[in-house]
Amino acid sequence: MLHVAGVSGLTIIDQLPMLTIVVPMLAAPLCVLFGNRHIAWLLAFLASVFSFLFATHMLLQVMDGDVLSYHMGGWEPPLGIEYRIDAANAFMLFLISGISTIVLPYARRSVAHEIKKVSHTLFYCCYLLCFTGLLGVVATGDAFNIFVFLEISSLSTYVLIAMGAERDRRALTSAYDYLILGTIGATFFVIGIGFLYMATGTLNLADLSVRMANMEGNRTIQAAFAFIIVGMGLKAAIYPLHLWLPGAYTYAPSVVTTFLAATATKAAIYVLMRFMFSVYQPDFVFELHTLTWIIMPLAILAIFAASLIAIFQTDLKRLLAYSSVAQIGYMMLGIGLASKSSLSATIVHLFNHGITKAVLFMVVGAYVMRAGSSFANNLNGLGKQLPWTSAAFVIGGLSLIGVPGTAGFISKWMLIQSVLEADLWWLAIMLVISSLLAVIYIWKTVEVLYLKEPDVSTLAMKEVPLSMLLPIWILAIACIYFGLNTEWTLSMADVAAEGLLNGGGK
Amino acid sequence: MNMEFILGHMNYWLFIILMMIGFYIVVARGNYIKKIVGLNVFQASVFMFYISIGKVEGGTAPIFPIDMNIDPQVIYSNPLPHVLILTAIVVGVATTSLGLALIVRIREEYGTIEEDDILEIDSAAQVSENRKEGASMGGRA
Amino acid sequence: MRHHLILRVITKLLVGPILLFALYVQFHGEYSPGGGFQAGVIFAVAFILFGIVFGLETVKKVFPPWLVHKFAALGVLIFAGTGVVSVMLGSNYLNYNALNPDNPQLGQVGGIIAIELGVGITVAAVMVAIYYAFASRTPMINDEDW
């Protein structure tokens, strides 16, 4: 059922699709106006709590397959900009705002440790803009609006990454590389949208899919598909386009890495799914060929190559960054199979991997705070010095491997099921083998943490403050909870996958 | 592929040529500022492409008369691509200035803005880090 | 630049008209070519010209960097705030009709003027901020080098 917010006499419930995005957008300039780092943090936290509440409410509204439609400025779609919330984007909004709400209390101490005081206000301002951009990318139902929000989030991301330069100057070159690649990606995406507009005369995603339903042979549409996939693929760090990711994740401040790893690439993958399955009909021959012969092989390559590289890393942050590339491979594999079950596997993995990686990167941030760096040598025997933090790392690691009882198991299990559904038993075996690679790099880290003798300097280290420990543990418990109680995530992902395949509830 | 086809699609040819020039500069040049210049050319080609698809043959500037006396005989060009590109230009300016700001900082930290030199410095740093810091993980990467 | 009398006099003469022209472009934007983006850049040009001729320190006294940042934020707030006002009046975000329900066309005009004002302030402030950021990183050119 389609709920359209009217033109006048709107209640606050009708305004939710807009409020979710506008509240953090308003908070960002307020941060600068107040110019106080404590108020800036408070504003960021409050904005993200409000967004989270709004997103949760919308999620409950659309859980049964309903669609919320909000007309910006009162202009009717397809002419005006429409915010269109169905199960798929409500789920993504929930994930992004939820992660942000949990990361921000953690951010306070971590940012104070890694960034100098003068920059704190601007840090939270950029963080809010990045948050706004990601929410906007997910919520909007207008193709060009996606680009605008994408650039809002990207530009602020470059700044956030470059703020890591106080610890390591390589943050600057990483941010620069990301800027070049990210801009090329966004520009490719705009070219693709331009082709679509040329062929159909509309930018509204729902309207696009209606008008493109019988334009399969149109070469403009096909070229647009290629441009959009490559452009968004760069943002999502699909395997051969992932080169910006390890550097950016390694040298960015820990909070930024946590937030980006858990949300930014996920938003890009959501846009990919939206275009592949809602805007383009999934039964277009050229799309099926792309999925089978390009996306799938690259996904398998990503899983193995990136996991292998991860094994040989000495910096924990870089190790986890490469593991992120591998995990994106799993998601792309689900997209490549292009069935309803594989899509819901991808959506579940988006969520589960989001919380898992957030735990792991937050723990690494805690290590950076205590040990001064995330290099393996500095972490010897930290398991005894920081017992709670390290225990959370083990839980996150188990979830990353996909051990039964953790969130990571559920998504891998669903993926393997959908692979078997497609009669690709060899692929199922490869997926199991790939999990063993994850065992190697997680075990290497656990060995360093628990089995190595602590150094003299390590012995003096204390557990991180509660404001950091609590967020870590909330997510660590979530990793276990969503591994045991799967009803909610699975039904949610099912509805979301159905919504994607039905073109967003036309 | 006759002459008419080629001339009739002139804006697309120019768009493609300009786009490829820009893209080539980004990929092939080692100087960070030149890369940004290439990125600008690349983006400008897209602006040109959008604006050219907004042109309607015989269309005039899409501004209604002030008394709103709209003559249905008059054909207007499509204003939407222009509006979109206005946004994209602003984004382009922001990207350029952020890129240049990063270059200023890189130059302050590294003393050079040549990609080859910086890669050399960075990889040397990484090798020594791996030796020094990574012993407990095998020390190679 | 102390010795360049002609440059200094011309600059002093030009700054005022440039600011005035910026305001003209700003408030003429809704019915003729113009608007916040263009006006903001023109407005900033006056400060940049002043800074080039009289030195960065002088222009920073006129328009200190912290104030530039506040103005950049203020402009965004005006933009977003206009939308919030229309929401408060029980309509969609940025629905200008709600600003004047009796005469929606006047509401549209008022809304777009407020929006463009926000855009203009932010663009002007950001342009000046970019100029400050880059200019303060390089050594000033000596008089002898001209």
List % helix, strand, coil for chain A (3-state, nearest 5).
Answer: 80, 5, 15
Best to test chain C binding among A4, A10, A118, A128 (most C CBs inside 10 Å): A10
What is the average per-residue pLDDT within A389-415?
93
> Is pLDDT larger for residue C92 or for residue C138?
C92
The rounded mean pLDDT for chain A is: 91
Contact predicate C99/A51, CB 8 Å: no
Instruction: State the chains in contact with B (3 or more Cβ–Cβ pairs under 8 Å).
Output: A, C
B 39-78 residues inside an 8 A Cβ radius of C = 63, 66
Write the residue in B109, B110, B137 that is nearest to A448 by C-beta: B137
Contact predicate A196/A205, CB 8 Å: no
Q: What is the distance between the alpha carbons of residues A137 and A154, in angstroms, rounded to a whole number? A: 11
Instruction: State the chains in contact with A (3 or more Cβ–Cβ pairs under 8 Å).
Output: B, C
Write the residue in C72, C73, C97 that is nearest to A74 by C-beta: C97
pLDDT digits (tens, 9 = 90+) for B15-35: 999 999 999 999 998 899 999
B88 contacts A375? CB cut-off 8 A: no
Split at pLDDT 50, 70, 90, the class of A384 is confident
What is the average per-residue pLDDT within B27-54?
93
Instruction: Return the sign of the alpha-carbon dihedral for residues A27, A30, A32, A36.
Output: negative
Say what the pTM is.
0.94
What is the average per-residue pLDDT within C108-131?
92
Write the residue in A8, A25, A29 that is nearest to C98 by C-beta: A8
pLDDT digits (tens, 9 = 90+) for A292-340: 899 999 999 999 999 999 998 888 999 999 999 999 999 999 999 988 8
Write the residue in B42, B80, B137 that is nearest to A444 by C-beta: B137
A376 contacts B133? CB cut-off 8 A: yes
Q: Nearest residue of C to residue B107 by CA position?
A: C137
Write the residue in B63, B97, B104 that is nearest to C137 by C-beta: B104
Contact predicate A187/A253, CB 8 Å: no
Closest CA to A399 of A435, A345, A365, A448: A435
Question: What percentage of chain B has pLDDT greater than the value 90?
Answer: 44
Domain that includes residue C66, residue range: 5-140
Closest CA to A493 of A406, A414, A400, A403: A414
Q: Nearest residue of A to residue B43 by CA position?
A: A187
- With b meaning 16 or more CB within 10 Å and e meaning fewer, what string describes A177-207? bbbbbbbbbbbbbbbbbbbbbbbbebbbbbb
The residue ranges of every structural domain in chain A are: 2-501
Q: Tell me the residue type at C69.
A: H
**Strand ranges of the sheet holding A2-4, from the earlier edge strand across to the other edge:** A2-4, A67-71, A82-85
B26's tokens = 């980004």
C58 found inside a domain: yes
3-state SS, residue B114? strand
Write the residue in A10, A22, A32 that is nearest to C83 by C-beta: A22
A191 contacts B88? CB cut-off 8 A: no
The correct answer on CATH 1.10.287 for the domain covering B1-58+73-110 is yes
Contacts of A197 in chain B (CB under 8 A): 53, 80-81
Contact predicate B106/B32, CB 8 Å: yes
C146 found inside a domain: no
- When divided into structural domains, chain C yields a total of 1
Closest CA to A161 of A182, A140, A191, A136: A182
pLDDT digits (tens, 9 = 90+) for B121-133: 988 988 888 777 7
B32 contacts A375? CB cut-off 8 A: no
Instruction: Return the sign of the alpha-carbon dihedral for residues C124, C126, C130, C132.
Output: positive
Q: Is the per-residue pLDDT at B139 higher than 50?
A: no
Query: Per DSSP, what are the bridge partners of residue A315?
Result: A375
Contact predicate C14/C20, CB 8 Å: no
Q: Is the per-residue pLDDT at A505 higher than 60?
A: no
| Chain B: closest CA distance from residue A485 (Å) | 36
Q: Which residues of A touch B (CB under 8 A)?
A: 144, 147-148, 151, 155, 158-159, 162, 165, 169-170, 172-173, 175-176, 179-180, 183-184, 186-187, 190-191, 194, 197-198, 203, 312-315, 318, 373, 375-380, 444, 448, 452
A197's tokens = 């507009």
Closest CA to A256 of A92, A103, A367: A103
Assembly ipTM: 0.92
C145 found inside a domain: no
Cβ neighbours of residue A275 under 8 Å, at least 6 residues apart? A225, A228, A229, A232
| Chain C: closest CA distance from residue A65 (Å) | 24
| Chain A: closest CA distance from residue C92 (Å) | 5
Question: What percentage of chain A has pLDDT greater than the value 70?
Answer: 98
The burial class, CB within 10 Å (0-12 / 13-18 / 19+), for B82 is: middle
State yes or no: cis peptide before A78, omega within 30 of 0.
yes
Q: What is the distance between the alpha carbons of residues A181 and A241, in angstroms, rounded to a whole number? A: 9
The rounded mean pLDDT for chain C is: 87
The residue ranges of every structural domain in chain B are: 1-58+73-110, 112-141
Give the per-residue pLDDT at C138. Answer: 67
Dihedral angle computed from the Cα positions of residues C126, C128, C131 and C133, in that order, rounded to the nearest 10 degrees: -60
Q: Nearest residue of C to residue A31 by CA position?
A: C73
B53 contacts A176? CB cut-off 8 A: no
Contact predicate A343/A334, CB 8 Å: yes
Q: What is the distance between the alpha carbons of residues A35 and A123, in angstroms, rounded to a whole number? A: 11
Contact predicate A71/A4, CB 8 Å: yes
Q: What is the distance between the alpha carbons of residues B100 and A247, in angstroms, rounded to a whole number? A: 19
Instruction: State the chains in contact with C (3 or more Cβ–Cβ pairs under 8 Å).
Output: A, B
| Chain A: closest CA distance from residue B69 (Å) | 22
Q: What is the distance between the alpha carbons of residues C66 and C72, in angstroms, rounded to a whole number? A: 10
Query: Which range has the worst mean pLDDT, A244-248, C22-26, C34-38?
Result: C34-38
Contact predicate C21/C49, CB 8 Å: no
DSSP string, A202-233: --BHHHHHHHTTT-TT-HHHHHHHHHHHHHHH
C129 found inside a domain: yes
Split at pLDDT 50, 70, 90, the class of A35 is confident
